[in-house]
Every structure is written in C-alpha cells, then in structure tokens.
Amino acid sequence: LRHELLNGQKRFRCRKLCPSFFCLQEMNGVLKNMLSEWFSTGFLNLERVTWQSPCEVLQKISDSEAVHPVRNWVDMKRRVGSYRRCYFFSHCAIPGEPLIVLHVALTSDISSSIQAIVKEVPPLETEDTDKITTAIFYSISLTQQGLQGVELGTYLIKRVVKELQKELPQIKAFSTLSPIPGFTKWLVGLLSSQTKELERNELFTESEWQEISEITGDSTTETLKKLLNNNEWVRSEKLVEVFHLPFMRLCAWYLYGEKHRGYALNPVANFHLQNGSVMWRINWMADTSPRGIAASCGMMVNYRYFLEDTASNSAAYLGTKQIKASEQVLSLVSQFQQNSKL
C-alpha cells in the first residue's frame, strides 16, 4: 500500500498545491510511523543466506538486488559462497521473508574495485581465515519498497558487524564500497551552467583543458557533456588518464561539499555518515560496468566504520552537520576549491 502511495506522490509532485498531494503526503506520514513501529528491531530476525537456503529465498534476493544486478545462478552462488556473506532481516511474523539484504565480501584489505568482488571466476571453496582481516559491505537493498525511510539499513549493518565479530574475531576493518548515484547528472548540470568561455577554469585547470582539446579537437563544455552522456570517453585511455584528477576533485566536492539542508546531498553518503562512518577513500575506475560509468564516471567510495568512533561521528554529523573525512578526500576538496568559485 505504501509503495503505491509513494508512486502516487511522485505523480503529483509537480502539482504540490493540488489537494490530492497533501492528502497523500499526510497518509504517507501516518503509514511510515506505523511501519516504523511494526518493523522495529525487537520484531526483526537476522538470517544468513547460503547456497543451501530455500530456492525461493535465493530468487527473491537475486530479484531485489538494486546495486549490482545478479547475472545468473552462478553469480548468485558466488555471492553467498566462500569469502562472502549475505544476511537479511525478516519479521518475526513472516520468518524467512527477506525485507532488506546486505552483501559482504571478506578480504585482506579495503577493496577499491567492485569488479574484484563480483568477478567471473569464483574464489576458492575453502576459506583461509588467516587472510580475512576486512569486511566490505558492498550492497544493501530493500526487497519491499514500501519500507523506504524506515530505519532498517542502519540496524542491519550494526547486527552484521556483531555477527562477523563473533564468527571472525580477527576482522579489524569494516568498510563499504559504495556507489555514487547522481554524480554524472550533477556534473552535466554543472557543465551546463558554464556558458561563458572565461568561466571554464572553475572546473578544470588550463593545462587540463589543453590536454582535452588535443585529444578531442575541442575544449568546449558541450563536447564534455556529449562525452559524459554517451560514455564514449571511457574507451580512450588518454581521456581516462586526463579525466582522472579533475573528476576525482569534482567527486570529492560533490560528496563532501554539496548539501541538502546542511547534510550531504548524495543519499548514500548521507546514510553512511548518519551511521557514523568516515568518508575514507574515493576510488577511480572502481566500477567499469556501463551502469557504473553512466552513474558516477566509474568512481566508488569507501565509507569506513571505526567502531569506537561511530557514535561520536554520528552525533557530530547529525548535530553540527560535520563530515568526518580522510586526508585524501580533504585534499581533493581543497584542490577543487582552489580551481572553483563554488
């Protein structure tokens, strides 16, 4: 019911003065509060998925994967196999029914490429626990869209951390490898605002514009917008190299500097920062799939959870809107500010 209600709100969003919009908005608030009570942590069970789990559970988890689509059953088997963990919350009234799903990779370091996690060749069947020192949360997906806005993801990550500490106490680092939805769209919008030739140095240095011109034969923002919209630039090794630093600078600013009511504009960043994570590392060419290139120019970001600091980090973000970030991110933000008037 709430899923249909949310879709109805989207249809009326362009007509916010319409009485129907306010009715739907009020009803949505009532349903959200009710669902938050019905699906509070006391009613939720944490369940692990393995290849021996019921076929219908595996199918639902495969169908609901919103971040990195499951290609086939071989892919699904790998995601619940060795060096991988998959957990979901179910309600006590409907056990075995996934509500929200979290995928974890068990590695020896903090991953910088999603292809290394969802690669074609499956890892060895037997885990060498001595090599497992890091847990990478690389996908979290709701199976029931009517539960949007109900705080399930935060609780799921906390429960999974405790479960992994119990099973694998040698794990010392907990981090995500997260997508950056909306970056390319934001960048194209920024380029569209660059209408005067003299303003182009706000985004790129003079030497960067010169290199772009030498490769493409043109150095206008329209050329860049065309390259971004059709993803053609990724086929050129020279362009990939030229875009590396400026896109990293721009991405750092998008994640750290672009705000909505004082909080991070990017929804994934806002979610993990609310949980008390640190914006730790931006990774170049971390997702080279067509979807990754289109959404974020191939970049992904690690949000690292330092367990002893998550409470204070969360309080600082929610209370004073302060973002905890690493030296790498802050350095890129500083470089962006030196080249920009934003």
Residues annotated as catalytic are 178, 272
The span from the CA of 106 to the CA of 110, in Å, is 10
- Distance in angstroms (rounded) separating the CA atoms of residues 241 and 239: 5
Query: Which 8-state DSSP code applies to residue 92?
Result: T
**3-class DSSP state for residue 91?**
strand
Closest CA to 180 of 277, 313, 317, 297: 297
122 exposure class (CB count in 10 Å sphere: 0-12, 13-18, 19+): middle
- Residues comprising the chain, all counted: 342
Alpha-carbon gap, residue 46 to 264, rounded angstroms: 29
Q: In the sheet where 134-142 sits, what is the strand order?
A: 44-48, 84-91, 100-107, 134-142, 173-176, 300-305, 278-283
Residue 231, class by beta-carbon neighbours within 10 Å (0-12 exposed, 13-18 middle, 19+ buried)?
Answer: middle
* Tokens matching residue 90: 């179910």
Q: Are the beta carbons of 142 and 148 closer than 8 angstroms?
A: yes
Angle between helix 310-320 and helix 267-274 axes, rounded to 10 deg:
120
- Count each helix (H run) and each strand (E run) in the chain, helices first: 13, 9
Rounded alpha-carbon distances, angstroms, from residue 119 to 72, 114, 116, 132, 135: 13, 8, 5, 18, 17
